[in-house]
Structures are given as structure tokens and as C-alpha cells.
Amino acid sequence: MRDLLRVERIDGILLVGIDNPPVNALSQPLRAALLEAINDLSDDVRAIAMYGCGAGFIAGADISEFAAAPKPPALPDVCKAIEAAAVPVVAVLHGATLGGGLEVALSTHLRAALPGAQLGLPEIRLGLIPGSGGTQRLPRLIGMAAALDLILGGRPIGPGEALQLGLIDRVLDDAAPRVAALGLARQVLEKWIAPRCASALTVPEDSAALAAARTRAAQGRRPAPHAAIEAVAASAGDFDAGLALERRLFHDLRATDAHAGLRHAFQVERLVRHIPEARLTPRPVAAVGVVGGGTMGAGIAAAFLLADLPVTLIERDSAAAERARATIRTVLDGALKRGRITADRHTALLTGALQLATDTAVLAKADLVIEAVFEDMAIKCAVFSDLGRICKPGAILATNTSFLDIDSIAEASTRLEAVIGLHFFSPAHIMRLVEVIPGRHTAPDLVATGFALAKRLGKVAVRGGNCDGFIGNRMLSHYRKVADYLLIDGASVTQIDTALERFGFAMGPFAVADLAGLDIGWATRKRRAPTRPPEERYVAVADRLCENGWFGRKTGMGYYDYSGPERRENPQLAALVAAERADAAPPLRDFSDQEICDRYLAAMICEGARVVADGTALRPADIDAALLFGYGFPREQGGPMHYADRIGLDRIANRVRTLSSEAPHFWRMPPLLERLAETGGRFADLNQNKPQ
């Protein structure tokens, strides 16, 4: 166990270096080693100095242990032992000091941080609260209001803010953590700095901060914020009683569906990195070109600029180029306002890193060019024909297409191996998903490059197969039909959207369609019309809206009317729906909110099963990642495939069988779902099959 610690004795100081790569996670062996080191002090030890080896102090708990029964020693016992040590304990924090790592630091008697350290309690993002004294020690150090802000927000802070709040006692000059820890301990022994015990401090109840936090928490659906507020409120009382309450609340939250879903969402973000091309070396990308400066192209350009990659953006004329510049400026203005970039960097990005042009010839030296023009095959092929002639050997030619065939686009370039799909989601500077879509002839290292770029941009890459719509939009095309069927069969736009928003979606399907632009879906439906199966039930309400020039928010009217301060249903929608209902065979009926959600999710899960079965997605986790990070699936539900596992695949299969009696073509049973339901399997079982 001591292999996880670097223990030295120097001049009465016990130096304890935490060495559990890659992030010093608080696994059970590390907890045991720490407890042993603290409890096994020799008489000559007069102070203990803790520091982290590698990239940080302690990045948090070992999340792989969360699903299993906890093994002793529990982290609260380790923290109690540190705080109760017979000699002063100091800690030097660098890199990531998060979650349980910060709780360990809070239990020491004096804390200092090196430049660049990140301190935080992000447990709320996993549907939990700090469970090892964080809700009790932190308020005693920085006050209830600041503690609530950090715990409920889950955001990390830097050394400057931590010092200002009182979370740490010193910000040190840049130095090796071991050297800094030894120096800090010597200052304590020489009485230059007085250590203190957080549990011995008192904090008055902050009624205003608690009331404001409770009001905010009431607006959400997750239980963790309410538990965090209750625990922090208890810090005004007896310390041991507060610790006991915190631990009970922590264990209660570990048993919730919300925690299971959020933990799964955290894990799939890492699982999707396991791709067949993972061992290949990504190509270097130092200069990026973007063709098309509309909403999507400008957003993609802004995302690369914010990742410190220079961008040359091509538009058809100077007026369009200036509109693109204005859009990018708005994005960068927002980043400046939020403190993400400095004023100097804001200026440098707009005046130096961003170049605009109307001639694609200037892209001759670009390492990567991303096409983001209108979703029309002829237009895209024309662009790639130009790029194939202009771009340097080895350049990556990427298309941002949402639906179209990557191979057909690649053929237009005559560089089959150089073309790949990089499908961003709008707004591209915010949405985290990027679908990486290789064609038949795409060079494998381009896939590795796509994943590396996504990581640099702070996004989640998912490898998808080259089919109409790839993973996300293929699924959307299927489950979106359920909303149309519900509308024609008796539900209203408002009821459907509201039911799904109550389930946890940020926006219902009709509101999302209005936001994206109804004309985009209209173009896709017209393209697919010749191959639409005659037995498919088709709802034309969206087509009628488009024929009236109502494309959603961009025109002020779609399913909803946006002319007032709040959205309301388009007053002419009822007539369009009534006309469509006149030709519908099923009689009108009422739907409960639960029925709406059940049908919508069953359709999503069915198509997800087919996407996995035919290899478009590598595993169910990739579908969960796509829907979580690109389509607003509620994070606490973990994704559609995780949700299906939780409620039971037999229940989903029975639901599909029942629904197939009213619409046999649409509600076809996916063989994979049927097999797993019959054998008691789960989609999660398929996540273990990592690509070779």
C-alpha cells in the first residue's frame, strides 16, 4: 500500500507524496495507505507535509468504486485522522484538487496552492454532495453563502479566488510540489504561520443565502441540491452531528436513479474514446479553414479560435463575410464577458487569428478545411471539387453535413482518403458533441485526428457510421415521428413539449424544430420523399408550415408564435392540424404525459438498438453520448440506452409489442432488443466490447 505514497522523513517533517497515477484518485488502497501513514507516526515527527506527485494533488474519488459497496477505510475516517493528528498537517495543492481531494485538503491544518491549481467540489454534477466533511468544513472556512455557491455550482476555482475566500492560507511561487510542501512545513515549525483546525471554527447561519439557494433548487428536478443545502445549513450547529447528516444524505443520494444516470453520463464520455484508431498518431493541425460563414460555420470558426487555432473563413462575397465576422465577434464578446478570454486575446483573435476571404485559393496552406455550406449535395460537391484542387497534400478535408453521404462528397474531391465527416451541432461553440464519420476510404489516422481536435475544443467525439443521418440525426428522424403521430392522434404541441420538458429535456421536439429552422427538416424530407416506404405513415403539418413561409424562430412563426414576450402556439396551427386529422384513420384520443414520454422514448430506444446492431454505433454508450451531448437528453437519465436498462428491456419490448398493433410498420421490434429482453441482458453488457 505504501507504493502509492512517497514517504520521507526530513528534519522532523514527514513528507507524504501521493503517487497514484494518472490523477491520484482516492482508491481504497490509497485511502488505506494514507490512514496508515497518519496513524503510524514516530516520536521524532513534528509536522506532516502532504503533496501530490504527477499532474495534481488529488483529482477526486475513484468513480469506478461508486457502483460497488464501499470498502474500508471510508474517506471520512481518513479525513478525521488527518484532522486529529497529533502534529500539524499541511498540504500544498497543485493541478486538480477536486471532490474528495479537496475534502482531504480541508481536513489539514494549513493549505497553500501553487499557480494553476484548480480547487472544487464537483460532486453535484454526479447527483451527489461532498460526503467526507466538505459541507461542514468549507462553510466554517469561507461562510455559508460562498460554500453554497461552490457546492451547488460544482465549479473549480483558482488559487487567487481560493485565497480571497479563505479556503487556502497561501498562494506560493511556482515550485516543485515536494519542495513547496517541505518549505511550508518548516514555516509552521518555525512559527511563521499558525495552523488551524476547520472543525473547531464556527459559522453563523446565513438565512438569506439558504433561502435563495432553496428557491433555485426548487426549480430543478434533481435531489442533490436540496440535500446539499440541508447539509450546509447543519454546519451552523454541532460538527459531528453535521458530519453524520452529511454522510446519511450522501448515501441516500448514491441510491438514486439520478446519481446512476449522471455517473453513467460521466463514464460514457470516457468510454467513447475507445475506438479502433485510438493508437494512431493524429495529424498536426496548426491552421484551419472554414468554408461557409452562416450560423454553423461561424460557430465552428469561433470554437477553433477559442482553442487558439487560427481560422481562415471563406464566404461567397464580402457582405456575407462581414456578417460572419459579426457573428464570431458576438461569440467572442460572450467569452470575454464570462472571463473565458482577456480583452487582449479578444482583440488578437478578431484582428489576427481570424482571416476572412472570398476566394478558396487562400486555403492552400490549411492543415484542415471544414465545409459548412447549405445541406445540398450539389453545392457540397462543388466545394470539395475546389478543395481537392487547391489544398496541399496531406490536408484534411472535412464536411459538416448532417445527413449526406460522405463517400459521394469524397468522390467530388478526388481525394478519397483525405475526406471525413466532422458533424458539429448548433450552436457549435457551445454544443459538445462532434460526430466523427469516416467514409469507406478515409485514412484511419483522420479519425484519430478528429478525436484529438474534439478534445482540444473541449468537445465529446463519437465515432459513427456513414449512413443517412449518422447516429444522432438518424435516430432523431425516427423518434421525431412519434411527436407528429401524437399530434395528429389527439395531443397538442404544447402538451407534448411540456411532457418531455418535465421528463428532463431542455426543450420539447416542436420547440427544438422551431429553433433549428423548419426549412432544414423540410429539405431533408423532400430529398427522402422518392424512397419513402408506401406503408409509412406521413404527417405533413411541418410541410404546411414551411409552405406558408413559417420556418420557426428565424421567421418569428413556426409551431409557435414568437411575436410576443412568451412563446404561444401558432394561432393558425390548429387549422393545419385539423386538416391533417381529417385524413387520419385512428380516432382522436387523449394522452397522458406519461404515455407521451413512453412512446417517445420507446421509439428512441428501438432505433438505438438498430443503430448498434448494424454497426453504425460502436456500442450503446456511443448512442447515449450522442443523445446526451448533442440532443439534450436529460443527463440525470444517463441516455436512452441506460434509461432502457434501468426500467427493464422486457418492459420496453412489451411496450413495443402493444404499440405494434396500432402501427405495425413503425413499431417493428428490433431483433437486438427482443434478444436482450428474452435473455435478461442489458445494453450495458455490450459496452464491454471495446474495439480492437
Q: Are 185 and 13 in contact (CB under 8 A)?
A: yes
Q: Are 573 and 497 in contact (CB under 8 A)?
A: no
Q: Whole-angstrom Cα distance, residue 577 to residue 559?
A: 11
How many other β-carbons are positioned within 10 Å of the β-carbon of residue 63? 14
Q: Are 666 and 624 in contact (CB under 8 A)?
A: no
The H-or-E segment that residue 225 falls in is helix 224-234
Residue 405 is classified by DSSP as: -
Q: Which residue has the cell 401558432?
A: 570
The secondary structure of 452-511, three-state, reads: HHHHHCCCEEEEECCCCCCCHHHHHHHHHHHHHHHHHHCCCHHHHHHHHHHHCCCCCHHH
597 CA to centre of own chain: 23
63: Cβ–Cβ under 8 A, 6 or more apart, which residues? 25, 126, 263, 266, 267
Q: Whole-angstrom Cα distance, residue 285 to residue 279?
A: 18
Nearest Cα to Cα of residue 293 among 258, 324, 255: 324
Q: Which residue has the cell 411575436?
A: 563
Residue 358 is classified by DSSP as: S
Verify whether residue 636 is a known catalytic residue.
Answer: no
516: Cβ–Cβ under 8 A, 6 or more apart, which residues? 426, 552
Q: Are 437 and 421 in contact (CB under 8 A)?
A: yes
Catalytic choice (8, 36, 83, 123): 123
Beta strands in 32-182 (DSSP E): 47-52, 89-93, 96-98, 110-113, 118-120, 170-171
Beta strands in 326-403 (DSSP E): 354-357, 368-371, 396-399
Q: Are 115 and 136 in contact (CB under 8 A)?
A: no
Verify whether residue 123 is a known catalytic residue.
Answer: yes
Q: Whole-angstrom Cα distance, residue 105 to residue 90?
A: 8
Catalytic choice (36, 65, 103, 536): 103
What does residue 89 show for φ and ψ, rounded to 5 degrees?
-120, 125
Catalytic residue set: 103, 123
